[in-house]
């Protein structure tokens, strides 16, 4: 097996640190690659990025300073306090390690020269150590390396192990250098980048090139279980700007506010989920796994989508922060019941052995619609293709926001899936404003909805209304299931029992069918994110826009029952309308 002295690699690192020009850096790196034996070129590539594995493998270094200082002390015989002082003095544990090796009293009689292979394998061992004795393993492995290191080698080992190499080399620079070393010129990078996008493992690409030249590249294909970097979007502020940039024929799609998910499906039903940062996030989302398996059964596919949390009772999309409670190791089942999800799929990247990323979006969307059987938990992102005018786009944006999304994603139908690129083929168009609801409101309880799962038989959400003195009626503004403790939710049925009706109270104006109705009596305090137009709630119906009322977005109970207020003292319809206008004014002031 080929190997090379670690000392040699470190010489390159020192020179790279000494250059500021990108071209000089590329030429140094390509010299390095030419000199490196093919068998270890992947290791050199990872280490140069300060890593020991491709991004998508869950192998993290990033050792804490405490632990590293103990290893330095163990390797050099200096007391820990002395090392701590040096780190403080030099401001960097790497430099402190270099000093300690240089100045140690006892030099090993026999020092084994470090090779790239040995350093890499030890670093992997350090990264992989887990469980009870892992600290011990990490310290001993590291101090073993340091004991054999020359001073400058120690400096770089410590920086890598702490996740702080910072040579300023990024993956695209490495691709440039590989193109120069193996394809004759930096200008050939696109050929590498294309394969890198399908399989984002720079070590694997370096190795293929070093062993088999350009021909070997064609063997690097998208692979189930290996996530590709997600395509990203640019941003514009207005429909007019969009039309200028995109022309007038494109796909406008709802932009859901949740967590990006790349879904890998095997023909035998296995499913894995990857985050925007390529972490494997299968574990916390068994519900997504099960529903995707149902929806795509029997095929090999890679899909792109956005997973949102929904309120199981109201069916409304929940704020992103609440979905983040799902990202946990323990208590997955409980969180799954509390925050059910829907995944909105918007792209198809791979199907039955074929890469789709080079194909136009038009075709990818069509195939996606054929492949996915929609269900409660899996839906296709809602969107429209057409000849757009600015007014239509503005209206569609409004509709998207009314339906609980963040806005629109505008997509070029002829574009390829550009992995990892924030380009102009996707453009996000959010509302030109985001406003805050500053004061809480006092609303009247007019109905309730039964809970599901753990909450079955109890109320999961309340239907709330504002008062209209002119007609002496109550008009709905939101459903609210957030902000209650478990005990408070448990107590609701009894607390409201006296007001319970088996039909809607005549003074309540509602387009929504509640499970249980109440005489308007109890008042509670609610804070929300903002007031939005609503296709269902009846408050201020038709006053701002035909066919729409006003609603409170993301309402939460503040914990205060306003027993001091009668329903006629609640916040009025007129006040809600005024708050909405106030909000618009605040926005136009800002802009």
Nearest to 290 by CA among 364, 377, 187, 358: 377
Contact 79, 147 (CB under 8 A): no
> How many CB atoms within 10 Å of residue 206?
28
Report CA 41 to chain centroid distance, whole Å: 31
CA distances from 441 to 1, 345, 525, 557, 574 (A): 73, 37, 6, 10, 12
Query: Smallest distance from the beta carbon of 391 to ligand AMP, in angstroms?
Result: 22
Cβ burial 147-182 (10 Å sphere, 16+ → b, else e): bbbbebbbbbbbbbbbebbebebebebbbbbbbbbb
Query: Smallest distance from the beta carbon of 536 to ligand AMP, in angstroms?
Result: 23
Nearer to ligand AMP, 324 or 501 (CB): 324
Binding string, residues 379-398; x marks residues near ligand AMP by CB under 6 A? --x-----------------
Contact 403, 536 (CB under 8 A): no
Nearer to ligand AMP, 224 or 232 (CB): 232
Contact 18, 24 (CB under 8 A): no
Binding string, residues 297-336; x marks residues near ligand AMP by CB under 6 A? ---------x------------------------------
Report the residue closest to ligand AMP, judged by CB: 260
Phi/psi of residue 476, nearest 5 degrees: -70, 145
Query: Smallest distance from the beta carbon of 62 to ligand AMP, in angstroms?
Result: 25
Part in contact with ligand AMP (CB under 6 A); list of ranges 66-74, 83-91, 176-184, 255-263: 255-263
Query: Smallest distance from the beta carbon of 276 to ligand AMP, in angstroms?
Result: 6
Nearest to 450 by CA among 489, 504, 484, 501: 489
> What gap in Å lies between CA 399 and CA 553, rounded to an integer?
14
* Binding-site member from 409, 427, 478, 489 for ligand AMP (CB under 6 A): 409
Element (H, E) at 501: strand 500-501
Catalytic residue, chosen from 43, 86, 138, 255, is 255
* Binding-site member from 255, 365, 522, 537 for ligand AMP (CB under 6 A): 255
> What gap in Å lies between CA 88 and CA 270, rounded to an integer?
50
* Binding-site member from 33, 156, 256, 396 for ligand AMP (CB under 6 A): 256
> What gap in Å lies between CA 13 and CA 7, rounded to an integer?
10
Contact 303, 347 (CB under 8 A): yes
The DSSP code sequence of 123-141 is HHHHHH--STTHHHHHHHH
Query: Smallest distance from the beta carbon of 306 to ligand AMP, in angstroms?
Result: 4
Nearer to ligand AMP, 137 or 232 (CB): 232
Query: Smallest distance from the beta carbon of 259 to ligand AMP, in angstroms?
Result: 7
* Binding-site member from 55, 171, 253, 412 for ligand AMP (CB under 6 A): 253
Which residues 413-452 are close enough to bind ligand AMP by CB under 6 A? 428
Is 378 a binder of ligand AMP (CB under 6 A)?
no
Nearer to ligand AMP, 83 or 368 (CB): 368
Query: Smallest distance from the beta carbon of 287 to ligand AMP, in angstroms?
Result: 19
> What gap in Å lies between CA 360 and CA 372, rounded to an integer?
19
3-state secondary structure 206-239: HHHHHHHCHHHHHHCCCCCCCCCCCCEEEECCCH
Nearer to ligand AMP, 51 or 264 (CB): 264
* Binding-site member from 188, 260, 367, 545 for ligand AMP (CB under 6 A): 260
Which residues 332-371 are close enough to bind ligand AMP by CB under 6 A? 346
* Binding-site member from 233, 378, 410, 443 for ligand AMP (CB under 6 A): 233
Nearer to ligand AMP, 374 or 569 (CB): 374
Query: Smallest distance from the beta carbon of 344 to ligand AMP, in angstroms?
Result: 7
Is 66 noted as a catalytic residue in this protein? no
Part in contact with ligand AMP (CB under 6 A); list of ranges 96-104, 155-163, 253-261, 463-471: 253-261
Report the greatest alpha carbon distance in the chain.
97
Number of residues that bind ligand AMP (CB under 6 A): 13
Query: Smallest distance from the beta carbon of 481 to ligand AMP, in angstroms?
Result: 24
Part in contact with ligand AMP (CB under 6 A); list of ranges 91-99, 211-219, 252-260, 387-395: 252-260
Part in contact with ligand AMP (CB under 6 A); list of ranges 92-100, 103-111, 249-257, 413-421: 249-257
> What gap in Å lies between CA 321 and CA 284, rounded to an integer?
15
Nearer to ligand AMP, 69 or 409 (CB): 409
CA distances from 381 to 170, 320, 374, 424 (A): 34, 17, 11, 20
Catalytic residues: 255
- Residues of this chain that bind ligand AMP (CB under 6 A): 232-233, 253-256, 260, 276, 306, 346, 381, 409, 428
């Amino acid at each position: 097996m080929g190997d090379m002295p670690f000392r040699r690699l470190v010489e390159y690192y020192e020179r790279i640190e000494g250059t500021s020009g990108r071209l000089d850096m590329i030429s140094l790196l390509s010299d390095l690659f030419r000199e490196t034996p093919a068998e270890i070129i992947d290791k050199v590539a990872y280490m140069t990025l300060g890593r020991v594995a491709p991004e998508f493998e869950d192998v993290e270094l990033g050792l804490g300073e405490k632990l590293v200082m103990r290893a330095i002390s163990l390797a050099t015989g200096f007391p820990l306090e002395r090392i701590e002082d040096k780190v403080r003095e030099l401001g960097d544990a790497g430099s402190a390690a270099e000093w300690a090796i240089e100045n140690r009293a006892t030099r090993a009689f026999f020092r084994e020269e470090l090779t790239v292979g040995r350093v890499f394998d030890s670093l992997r061992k350090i990264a992989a150590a887990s469980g009870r004795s892992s600290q011990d393993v990490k310290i001993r492995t590291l101090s073993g390396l340091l004991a054999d290191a020359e001073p400058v080698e120690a400096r770089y080992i410590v920086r890598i192990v702490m996740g702080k190499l910072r040579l300023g080399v990024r993956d695209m620079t490495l691709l440039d250098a590989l193109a120069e070393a193996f394809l004759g010129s930096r200008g050939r990078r696109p050929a590498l980048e294309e394969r890198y996008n399908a399989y984002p493992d720079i070590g694997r690409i370096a190795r293929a090139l070093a062993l088999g030249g350009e021909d070997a590249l064609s063997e690097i294909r998208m692979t189930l279980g290996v996530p590709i970097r997600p395509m990203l979007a640019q941003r514009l502020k207005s429909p007019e700007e969009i039309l200028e940039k995109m022309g007038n024929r494109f796909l406008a799609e709802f932009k859901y506010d949740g967590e990006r998910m790349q879904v890998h499906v095997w023909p035998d039903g296995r499913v894995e989920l990857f985050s925007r940062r390529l972490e494997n996030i299968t574990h916390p989302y068994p519900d997504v796994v099960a529903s995707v398996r149902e929806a795509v059964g029997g095929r090999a596919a890679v899909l792109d989508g956005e997973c949102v949390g929904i309120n199981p009772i109201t069916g409304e999309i929940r704020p992103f922060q609440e979905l983040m409670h799902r990202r946990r190791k323990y208590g997955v089942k409980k969180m799954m019941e509390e925050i059910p999800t829907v995944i909105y799929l918007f792209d198809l990247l791979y199907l039955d052995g074929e890469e789709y990323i080079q194909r136009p979006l038009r075709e990818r969307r069509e195939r996606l619609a054929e492949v996915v059987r929609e269900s409660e938990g899996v839906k296709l992102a809602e969107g429209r293709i057409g000849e757009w005018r600015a007014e239509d786009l503005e209206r569609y944006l409004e509709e998207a926001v009314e339906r609980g999304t963040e806005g629109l994603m505008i997509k070029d139908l002829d574009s390829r899936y550009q992995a990892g690129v924030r380009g102009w083929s996707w453009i996000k168009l959010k509302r030109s404003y985001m406003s805050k609801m500053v004061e809480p409101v006092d609303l009247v309880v007019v109905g309730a909805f039964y809970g599901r799962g753990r909450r079955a038989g109890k109320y999961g959400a309340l239907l709330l209304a504002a008062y209209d003195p002119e007609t002496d009626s109550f008009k709905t503004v939101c459903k609210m299931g957030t902000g209650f403790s478990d005990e408070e939710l448990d107590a609701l049925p009894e607390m409201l029992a006296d007001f319970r009706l088996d039909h809607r109270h005549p003074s309540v104006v509602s387009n929504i069918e509640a499970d249980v109705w109440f005489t308007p009596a109890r008042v509670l305090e609610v804070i929300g994110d903002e007031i939005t137009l609503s296709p269902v709630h009846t408050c201020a119906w038709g006053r701002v826009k035909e066919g729409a009322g006003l609603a409170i977005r993301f309402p939460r109970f503040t914990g205060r029952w306003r027993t001091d207020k009668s329903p006629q003292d609640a916040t009025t319809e007129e006040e809600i309308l005024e708050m909405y206008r106030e909000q618009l004014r605040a926005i136009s002031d800002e802009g």
